[in-house]
């Protein structure tokens, strides 16, 4: 955990993730949901976020409304990260 992040911050992000994990996993293209640090322009930041792992990033305008991943949930940042295909799928 970053020196800028406290255990309480982590627990809050984890709690919000757990509440919303099922609905995020139900979205098209989503492979996993976790807690980690937001990545901006390829660089990891010190911002704790809900990480949503997708096969590939898709322009929001091409997604159905129900498949759009919010940028923030309950005040917690959400970071969509492209991970490709997992072996064994």
d(CA 77, CA 13): 9
Q: Give me the tens of pLDDT residue by residue for the chain, a chain 89 residues long.
A: 554 568 999 999 999 999 999 999 999 999 999 999 999 999 999 999 999 999 999 998 999 999 999 999 999 999 999 998 766 65
CB burial of residue 8 (10 Å; 0-12, 13-18, 19+): exposed
pLDDT at 3: 47
pLDDT on residue 4: 56
Give all strands (DSSP E) within 1-89, no chain letters.
Answer: 30-40, 43-54, 72-73, 76-82
Q: Using CA atoms, how far apart are residues 62 and 68, in angstroms rounded to an integer?
A: 9
> What residue ranges define each of the domains in the chain, with the CATH number in brackets?
7-82 (3.30.300)
């Amino acid at each position: 955990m970053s020196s800028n992040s406290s255990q309480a911050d982590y627990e809050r992000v984890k709690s919000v993730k757990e509440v919303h994990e099922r609905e995020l996993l139900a979205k098209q293209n989503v492979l996993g949901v976790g807690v980690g640090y937001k990545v901006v322009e390829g660089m990891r930041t010190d911002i704790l976020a809900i990480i949503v792992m997708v096969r590939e990033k898709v322009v929001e305008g091409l997604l159905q409304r129900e498949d759009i991943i919010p940028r923030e949930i309950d005040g917690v940042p959400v970071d969509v990260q492209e991970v490709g295909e997992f072996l064994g799928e």
